[in-house]
A and B are shown apart, each in its own frame.
Chain A
Amino acid sequence: MRARNSCLLTSLMLPLLGCSSSSSHTTTDAGKGDSGGTMHKTDSGTHADSGHARDAATCGNPCSDVSGTCVPIVAGESESDIVTAFSVAKAGTTLAFGAGTFAFTNTLALLGVPNLTVRGAGMTETILDFSGQAAGSDGLDAQDSNHLTLWGFTVQNPKGNAIKVEQSSDVVFEAVKAAWTTPMGMNNGPYGIYPVSVQNLLIENCAVTGASDSGVYVGQSQNAVVRGNDIYGNVAGIEIENTWGAVVENNQSHDNTAGILVFDLPNLPQQGGHDVRVMNNQVVSNNTLNFAQTGDIVSKVPAGTGVLVMANHDVEVAGNTITGSNTVGIAVVSYLATLIPITDPHYYPYPYDVSLHDNTISGSGSNIDSSVAIGLLLASAVTTFPDQRGPDLAYDGAIDPTKLADAGAGGDGGVNANAMNICFKNNGAASTFLDINIQKLEIYGEGDAGPAPADGGPTNLPLIDSFNIAPFTCALPATSQVDGGVTFVDASPGASCDASHP
């Protein structure tokens, strides 16, 4: 390293040291793998000599019990210094915020450096506040950041997504929160916790509220675990989209427009969502008015939807408690239900091999949201439904035309209604069921299983086919376990911000 770099380094790092600590951490060259050149080394001597007095009101040096390279960031540090620290962080560094609120005007970003940890003193203690954001869109954005751990802070009021991690592997979100403080704000950012194109993922003990699209959105990813989170006041609570291998378990998803979505959408690099497990979640009162913008796919979801599975295969939804969903408890639909024309020849719009069993469903369908197409369809027919309310369980009944041909049915009469293997079992003896048979809608053509040219929407409502669940009462083998491939490791036990901590 050249002398000039040491000088620059000192000037870069000093402002970040808000506390003196003999336990600031030593590193040698943290190795290759980042693209930031070779000048950026933290240096224990530099740290220890900085001599800033610690603010007694904070919880001390945020690095005090971090092993390895650590950059402490305490309340009062400038945005410029924080961004610089993020920019020059080498592989293996922990960027440790102390307690307090840190205001940002631009996205805080990481790119191309592996093995980073960004941590705070806890989701209520450390607030990264983007209320004054003037540039960039997302709050915290990490790209090509393999082996990334985000832990113990809140990202608040960014203009765009709160925390986006893309094109990375082995990513952990532990006890972080994304929040917009304007309830149901149409101009709130779309996603709270937003990993996209991530391989191996854990989202655990986090919270999201206020997202104008999805609180937790796992997009085009592989091997994801979403566990133990509290997600509320968003349009969609948790959305797994175009993802291969995911488990959503033991979450609280409540007071969103929809609780849990498992979607596959066309025109994306990774399609064919499959092997998704939705297990043992509490999905409660997801009846918030849909405040997503028109055009956004979740704007098509009726308020009062508990769990919605669209165009995925090998999905298991089991052991969930789904309560007070004003439109529908659990629905399995094809992309046809969006009424959006399909232009992607590689896209498969039909769900298949979906197993929904042993869920506890209550209080569904008492106030169907007719402001979106699929809700209007249900609402227009509700007087014919058992109990004259929306169903606990629903299936749009869309069948791949090639499977129709295989059945030799050639029309409604002889069709194997369950050619797609959509299986409901043990979801409560009293649960109501609806087969929408969406392909009978005029927009798709009577008896025509493929989407016909759109002609302005469904005009022959209602055309509800059946309330008989018997053809769909079946069981499928359990789906494969999904382990996420990563676990949260507390590298600094006792580091949480509490008064007893020196």
Chain B
Amino acid sequence: MRRVAPLIAVALAACSSSGSAPLAGRDGGHDATHERVEDAARDAPHDAGAPRPCTVGGDGGYVDAPFPKLSQYCIASIVDGGIALGPGVVPYDLNTPLFSDYAIKVRGVWVPPGAHASYNDASALDFPIGTILTKSFGFADDMRKSSPVIAWVETRLVISTASGYQAYTYIWDADGKDATLSYSGEVRSTSWINADGGNVTMNYLVPSFVQCKQCHNLDGVVTPIGPKARQLNKDYDYPDGSENELAHWSRIGILEGAPDASVAPKLPVWNDPSTGTLAERARAYLEGNCAHCHNAEGTAFTTGLFLLASEDASTTYGICKPPVAAGAATGGRSYDIVPGDPDASIMTYRLASTVPQVMMPQIGRSVVDVQGLALVTAWIASLDGGCGP
């Protein structure tokens, strides 16, 4: 896919030394041209000689309790308007990520030296104690710009501890020098200019501590969502060249047991037709955006609607499934998915809504993912059938 100009040209990371570069990317390819511009700054020059005042993980106390300030982790900082990951923090992205209000996201993983994650085919990789997964969220001032000014809002962490994973978010201080642990989250009015030049104002939700756990809940246990083999089985442009993420993680020793990428499962890229059929990409999209709750162990399990890409296309997947507890959120429609008729399907109604009690996902977006909705709509329209009366 086409690369755009680096958002950040020069890195001066306070916490970085070799191997660390500021990163900024628009997550999920939601720009007007549907091109993924993620990681645009990945080949920014390395910072060569900056002092190294911090060590990733700090004094290690974060495995007992979260640090009050993000800087204590040395995991991510803002440098020249971009997110700079700390030394040894490995950037990554996903085949089909969660839509988050067109936020730019920068992800990284740090595994304590000498430790490694364990591979499995189906669920999130098993990360060793001390691992920090980080994801920073920011908004470009103008999505038409190749080098927009990015307002970084929050940096989230998932930490592997002896008592399981913990999920926290840190809200960036006004001066951008540090971010502060927030349990309450925040509803933040955010404005930007979209790819069509229109002004967008939205109530971006920085999730509360409990809302973090609601999405990361798997049978009562906080669990990473993104870093699954099928999401990581993709190439990434590392500073020293492009490499498959699973292969890279294996090669540098933070992942053990992974098969060759060619035989590992792989989720299509939702907006790249070369990676899958319409149905496959729609299923990838629904997995990336819905299945963290809508699975048999997730927060939405009582709905009986399960949207992992591996589910059969049956009632459980929403095909002619009557709603259970949606109330007014049905929009007057009778089934989740009516094959061939997206306008009669509750799924499209809820994806197209920004009303809190109607919209899906319930947490994580406040504007409509126009391109994602178009994909799901096209897929439902392509199905044969109908649901009877």
B52-78 contact mask (Cβ, 8 Å, vs A): 1 or 0: 000000000100111110000000000
Q: State A106–B204 Cα separation when bound (angstroms).
A: 12
A136-B183 contact in complex given A4-B67, A109-B214, C-beta closer than 8 Å: no
B322-344 contact mask (Cβ, 8 Å, vs A): 1 or 0: 11111111111111000000000
Does the CB pair A137–B357 fall under 8 Å? yes
Residues of A with C-beta under 8 A to B192: none
Question: What is the minimal beta-carbon distance from A42 to any residue of chain B, in angstroms?
Answer: 14
Instruction: Tell me, yes or no, whether B363 is within 8 Å of chain A by CB.
Output: yes
Does the CB pair B302–A295 fall under 8 Å? no
Question: What is the minimal beta-carbon distance from B31 to any residue of chain A, in angstroms?
Answer: 25
Does the CB pair A37–B64 fall under 8 Å? yes
Interface residues of B in 184-199 (CB under 8 A from A): 184-187
Does the CB pair A111–B210 fall under 8 Å? yes
Does the CB pair A293–B331 fall under 8 Å? yes
Does the CB pair A1–B65 fall under 8 Å? yes
Instruction: Tell me, yes or no, whether A403 is within 8 Å of chain B by CB.
Output: no
Instruction: Tell me, yes or no, whether A14 is within 8 Å of chain B by CB.
Output: no
Instruction: Tell me, yes or no, whether B148 is within 8 Å of chain A by CB.
Output: no
Residues of B with C-beta under 8 A to A295: 322-323, 326, 330-335, 346
Does the CB pair B66–A37 fall under 8 Å? yes
A87-B209 contact in complex given A190-B328, A294-B334, A295-B331, C-beta closer than 8 Å: yes
Q: State A109–B208 Cα separation when bound (angstroms).
A: 9
Instruction: Tell me, yes or no, whether B147 is within 8 Å of chain A by CB.
Output: no
Instruction: Tell me, yes or no, whether A473 is within 8 Å of chain B by CB.
Output: no
Interface residues of B in 279-310 (CB under 8 A from A): 296, 299, 301-304
Interface residues of A in 127-151 (CB under 8 A from B): 133-137, 141, 143-144
Instruction: Tell me, yes or no, whether B387 is within 8 Å of chain A by CB.
Output: yes
Question: What is the minimal beta-carbon distance from A371 to any residue of chain B, in angstroms?
Answer: 14
B94-110 contact mask (Cβ, 8 Å, vs A): 1 or 0: 00000000000000000
Instruction: Tell me, yes or no, whether B211 is within 8 Å of chain A by CB.
Output: yes
- A contact residues, total (Cβ < 8 Å): 78
Interface residues of A in 7-45 (CB under 8 A from B): 7-8, 12, 32, 35-39
The DSSP consensus for interface residues of chain B is: loop
Does the CB pair B315–A217 fall under 8 Å? no
Does the CB pair B302–A219 fall under 8 Å? yes
Interface residues of A in 337-381 (CB under 8 A from B): 339-341, 343-344
Tell which of A36, A111, A134, A159 touches B203, judged by Cβ atoms closer than 8 Å: A134
Tell which of A136, A187, A217 touches B363, judged by Cβ atoms closer than 8 Å: A136
Does the CB pair A456–B331 fall under 8 Å? no
Residues of A with C-beta under 8 A to B301: 167, 197, 269
Instruction: Tell me, yes or no, whether B134 is within 8 Å of chain A by CB.
Output: no
Q: Which residue of B lies closest to A133 (CB)?
A: B356
Instruction: Tell me, yes or no, whether B30 is within 8 Å of chain A by CB.
Output: no
Instruction: Tell me, yes or no, whether B205 is within 8 Å of chain A by CB.
Output: yes
Instruction: Tell me, yes or no, whether B222 is within 8 Å of chain A by CB.
Output: yes
Q: State A457–B389 Cα separation when bound (angstroms).
A: 7
The DSSP consensus for interface residues of chain A is: loop
Instruction: Tell me, yes or no, whether A390 is within 8 Å of chain B by CB.
Output: no
A106-B208 contact in complex given A4-B68, A294-B333, A295-B330, C-beta closer than 8 Å: yes
Instruction: Tell me, yes or no, whether A196 is within 8 Å of chain B by CB.
Output: yes
Does the CB pair A2–B326 fall under 8 Å? no
Does the CB pair B327–A37 fall under 8 Å? no
Residues of B with C-beta under 8 A to A136: 205, 211, 356, 362-363
Tell which of B302, B329, B362 touches A268, judged by Cβ atoms closer than 8 Å: B302
Tell which of A38, A80, A161 touches B64, judged by Cβ atoms closer than 8 Å: A38
Does the CB pair A144–B217 fall under 8 Å? yes
Q: State A84–B387 Cα separation when bound (angstroms).
A: 46
Residues of A with C-beta under 8 A to B355: 159
Does the CB pair B203–A135 fall under 8 Å? yes
Residues of B with C-beta under 8 A to A297: 322-324
Instruction: Tell me, yes or no, whether B274 is within 8 Å of chain A by CB.
Output: no
Does the CB pair B213–A84 fall under 8 Å? no
Q: State A185–B301 Cα separation when bound (angstroms).
A: 28
Does the CB pair A293–B330 fall under 8 Å? yes
B360-378 contact mask (Cβ, 8 Å, vs A): 1 or 0: 0011001000000000000
Residues of A with C-beta under 8 A to B163: 32, 35
Does the CB pair B67–A135 fall under 8 Å? no
Q: State A292–B328 Cα separation when bound (angstroms).
A: 7
Does the CB pair A339–B222 fall under 8 Å? no
A186-B68 contact in complex given A109-B208, A135-B203, A267-B322, C-beta closer than 8 Å: no
Instruction: Tell me, yes or no, whether A189 is within 8 Å of chain B by CB.
Output: yes
Does the CB pair A2–B61 fall under 8 Å? yes
Residues of B with C-beta under 8 A to A109: 208, 210-211, 214
A296-B61 contact in complex given A39-B66, A143-B214, C-beta closer than 8 Å: no
Does the CB pair B217–A143 fall under 8 Å? yes
Q: Which residue of A lies closest to B296 (CB)?
A: A269
Interface residues of A in 396-449 (CB under 8 A from B): none
Does the CB pair A2–B333 fall under 8 Å? no
A341-B184 contact in complex given A143-B214, A160-B356, A295-B331, C-beta closer than 8 Å: no
Tell which of B185, B220, B327 touches A296, judged by Cβ atoms closer than 8 Å: B327
Tell which of A81, A106, A190 touches B327, judged by Cβ atoms closer than 8 Å: A190
Does the CB pair B363–A453 fall under 8 Å? no
Instruction: Tell me, yes or no, whether B164 is within 8 Å of chain A by CB.
Output: yes
Q: State A298–B329 Cα separation when bound (angstroms).
A: 13
Instruction: Tell me, yes or no, whether A387 is within 8 Å of chain B by CB.
Output: no
Q: State A457–B315 Cα separation when bound (angstroms).
A: 21
Q: State A188–B314 Cα separation when bound (angstroms).
A: 31
A344-B208 contact in complex given A2-B65, A88-B183, C-beta closer than 8 Å: no
Instruction: Tell me, yes or no, whether A282 is within 8 Å of chain B by CB.
Output: no
A191-230 contact mask (Cβ, 8 Å, vs B): 1 or 0: 1001011000000000000001100010110000000000
Q: State A212–B329 Cα separation when bound (angstroms).
A: 11
Tell which of B65, B326, B346, B387 touches A37, judged by Cβ atoms closer than 8 Å: B65
Instruction: Tell me, yes or no, whether B40 is within 8 Å of chain A by CB.
Output: no
Question: What is the minimal beta-carbon distance from A157 to any residue of chain B, in angstroms?
Answer: 11
Q: Which residue of A lies closest to B208 (CB)?
A: A83
Tell which of B61, B205, B208, B332 touches A294, judged by Cβ atoms closer than 8 Å: B332
Question: What is the minimal beta-carbon distance from B164 to any residue of chain A, in angstroms?
Answer: 6
Q: State A473–B68 Cα separation when bound (angstroms).
A: 70
Question: What is the minimal beta-carbon distance from A209 to any residue of chain B, in angstroms?
Answer: 15
Question: What is the minimal beta-carbon distance from A214 to any residue of chain B, in angstroms?
Answer: 9
Residues of B with C-beta under 8 A to A7: 68
Question: What is the minimal beta-carbon distance from A106 to any residue of chain B, in angstroms?
Answer: 6
Does the CB pair B208–A190 fall under 8 Å? no
| Interchain Cβ contacts under 8 Å between A and B, 30 examples | A35-B163, A81-B184, A82-B184, A83-B208, A83-B210, A87-B184, A106-B211, A109-B208, A111-B213, A112-B222, A134-B187, A135-B205, A135-B366, A137-B357, A158-B357, A160-B329, A167-B220, A187-B328, A188-B328, A190-B328, A196-B325, A265-B322, A265-B324, A267-B304, A293-B332, A294-B333, A296-B323, A297-B323, A343-B321, A344-B315
In the A-B complex, the 7 residue pairs with the closest CB atoms? A190-B327, A295-B330, A87-B209, A454-B388, A109-B210, A83-B184, A160-B357
Q: Given A109-B210, A160-B357, A167-B302, output 14 extra A-B contacts at Cβ < 8 Å.
A: A2-B61, A4-B67, A37-B64, A37-B65, A38-B64, A84-B184, A87-B209, A111-B214, A111-B217, A136-B205, A166-B302, A191-B327, A219-B324, A293-B326
| B interface residues (Cβ-Cβ under 8 A, vs A) | 61, 64-68, 161, 163-164, 166, 181, 183-187, 203, 205, 208-211, 213-214, 217, 220, 222, 296, 299, 301-304, 314-316, 320-335, 346, 355-357, 362-363, 366, 387-389
| A interface residues (Cβ-Cβ under 8 A, vs B) | 1-2, 4-5, 7-8, 12, 32, 35-39, 79-84, 86-88, 105-107, 109-112, 133-137, 141, 143-144, 158-161, 166-167, 186-191, 194, 196-197, 212-213, 217, 219-220, 265-269, 292-297, 339-341, 343-344, 453-457
